[in-house]
Amino acid sequence: MKELRYRRRVQFADTDLAGLVHFSWYFRYMEEAEHALWRDAGLTVASPSDTIRYPRVSATCEFRAPLRFEDEIEIEIRVAAVGSRAIRYDCVIQRGETIAARGSITVACIDTADGATPRAIDIPGRVSAALEGRA
């Protein structure tokens, strides 16, 4: 499977005073889908037993149509590229057949051992193997 389709319902807290989903939630929706993709691949983005993390180094979102409270939405996430130290995802957020937004997220692989300044490291082989089949 090269992509994952993650479904959710827009919550009231996701909206602004105009009753529309606040722009920041589109990024959260993409991140929720990313975590679901990792779980589906048998992985986790933040295991308490190791010091490797995957912070966002780039995120984009192009809005196409508004979303509102109670809308049922689907976030399609796809691994677009797995490099030696970074992963890029492409996302489409839809309400039915309507594309509400398109975006991308790039994450870096870092080590936070001993509370030191995080440093970029190569993506562990088990992670890249699990995700490369989705690229």
Q: Percentage of residues in the chain with pLDDT exceeding 90?
A: 86
- What pLDDT sits at residue 67? 98
| Residue found by looking up tokens 């870096």 in the block | 108
Number of domains forming the structure of the chain: 1
Give the separation between CA 108 and CA 22, rounded to whole angstroms: 26
Give the separation between CA 28 and CA 50, rounded to whole angstroms: 24
- What pLDDT sits at residue 135? 55
Residues 6+ apart with CB under 8 A from 32: 6, 8, 75
Identify the CATH number of the domain in which residue 110 sits.
3.10.129.10
- What pLDDT sits at residue 2? 76
Nearest alpha-carbon partner for 8 in 93, 118, 114: 93
- Domain holding 17, by residue range, is 3-132
Take residue 33 and report the two structure tokens written for it.
């889908």
For the stretch 90-133, pLDDT in tens is 999 999 999 999 999 999 999 988 777 889 999 999 999 999 87
- Answer yes or no: is pLDDT of 17 > 60: yes
